[in-house]
Amino acid sequence: MSSPTLVPSALELIEGASRAYTTRRVPLEAMRCLSTACLPQSGDLVLARVSEIGHHKRLHLPGGGKRNLFPGDLVIVPYADRYAPNQFEARVPRDLGPCHLVAAGGIAGRVEASHQKVRRGPTTLRPLGLVASDPEAPPLNVAGWGLAPPARPVRGGIPVIAIVGTSMDSGKTTAAAYLTHGLHRHGIRVGYAKVTGTGAAGDPGLLHDAGASPVLDFTDLGYASTYRIAPRIVEALYRESIAHLEAAGVDVIVLEVADGLLQRETARLLASKTFAELTHGVLFCAAEAMGAVAGHAWLRAKGLPVLGLAGRLTTAPLQIREAREATGSTVFGLAELGDPSTARKLVAIRR
């Protein structure tokens, strides 16, 4: 007589799953059961089984490490929209049917468009249910574990440098890291926050290694992704990030705004009164000279203080020369941003 097959309980499945970086603020002890009674909303946690490995082969973990994924693995990730021109555009599905892992930091969504270079397609997921603390409670959502609102509003007086760019992969995070490291070497305490984008462990980890303390991103404020969220919320994330870093007693604040000037949330933030009032200077990153020229003109037309140009264009001397001649702006390579005296002078520029 054969032994009966033991079916794992929902709690056993949850405890055996790999939790994504984007869920790191939600305590494991709050994850007790699964629900299939409601439709997913942005930020809701889902327990899903990996069906097929595609573009994303690894998952960023809460501690910042990564693990390789295999078919059959269980993961806990939040649903969210994603904007990534070089990878995927995705939306929160309207059901608990098969969907995709659309970001290595841990985002579940359904792909609507993908870049031609993504040849394998997205990694596919089969949701088992939304994660909840109690059968009668609503699903757990990352918004429930964001930092409490700052005790005091933004006071001002601390230089705020915003790093923006033409698009993803224009060199923003690397520029932010080198600028931070240059200031850190000068004995200046730098606070960093990534205020928009898609949750991932890599950028905060890099800035921590560069010397920033504290390091925050929008996931600390309750969002797995900022794509398609309301302009007032994006502005609130910008203000709250500054207020949290001010409260930590930093000397300089470096804020990274994801994606490019034409991305909806970025464009609206940079055109807002909030951004104009709270930002001391803008370092603009571009992959090539024409993008630098167009972006520089866009920012200046908005009356924003452009401190200089940086990014991937600085790997090509001809691009540097063309950008400098066309804009009249200083072009900062990584060595210059990382130089303590140059970094300190850049923060002192007032336009």
pLDDT single digits (tens) 26-44 = 999 999 999 988 899 999 9
| pLDDT computed for residue 201 by the predictor | 94
Q: Which two tokens stand for residue 254?
A: 């470096």
From 104-113, 150-159, 285-294, 319-328, the region with the lowest mean pLDDT: 150-159
pLDDT tens digits, one per residue of 218-254: 999 999 999 999 999 999 999 999 999 999 999 999 9
From 45-54, 68-77, 313-322, 338-347, the region with the lowest mean pLDDT: 338-347
Q: Where are the alpha helices (DSSP H) in the chain?
A: 10-15, 172-185, 202-210, 231-247, 264-270, 273-278, 289-301, 317-327, 334-337, 340-348
| pLDDT computed for residue 350 by the predictor | 53
Q: Which two tokens stand for residue 19?
A: 């939790």
Averaged pLDDT of the chain: 94
Place of tokens 């803008």: 282
Q: Which residue has the higher pLDDT, 155 or 52?
A: 52
Residue 4 clears pLDDT 60, i.e. is over it: no
Percent of the chain at pLDDT exceeding 70: 97
Class of domain 160-348: alpha beta
Among 188, 185, 164, which residue's Cα sits nearest to residue 308? 164
Which part of the chain is CATH 3.40.50.300? 160-348
Residue 5 clears pLDDT 60, i.e. is over it: no
Would you call 150 helix, strand, or coil by DSSP? coil
**Confidence category of residue 2, pLDDT binned at 50, 70, 90:** very low
Q: Which two tokens stand for residue 299?
A: 């920012």
Give strand pairing partners of 110.
91
| pLDDT computed for residue 345 by the predictor | 86
Q: Using only the alpha carbons of the chain, give its radius of gyration.
A: 21
| C-alpha separations of 197 from 8, 47, 243 in Å | 36, 23, 19
| pLDDT computed for residue 297 by the predictor | 97
Place of tokens 């040849």: 119
pLDDT tens digits, one per residue of 258-299: 999 999 999 999 999 999 999 999 999 999 999 999 999 999
Mean pLDDT of 116-123: 89
Residue 3 clears pLDDT 60, i.e. is over it: no
**Confidence category of residue 173, pLDDT binned at 50, 70, 90:** very high
| pLDDT computed for residue 349 by the predictor | 65
Residue 190 clears pLDDT 90, i.e. is over it: yes
Mean pLDDT of 127-148: 95
**Confidence category of residue 343, pLDDT binned at 50, 70, 90:** confident
Residue 1 clears pLDDT 70, i.e. is over it: no
From 10-24, 64-78, 175-189, 335-349, the region with the lowest mean pLDDT: 335-349
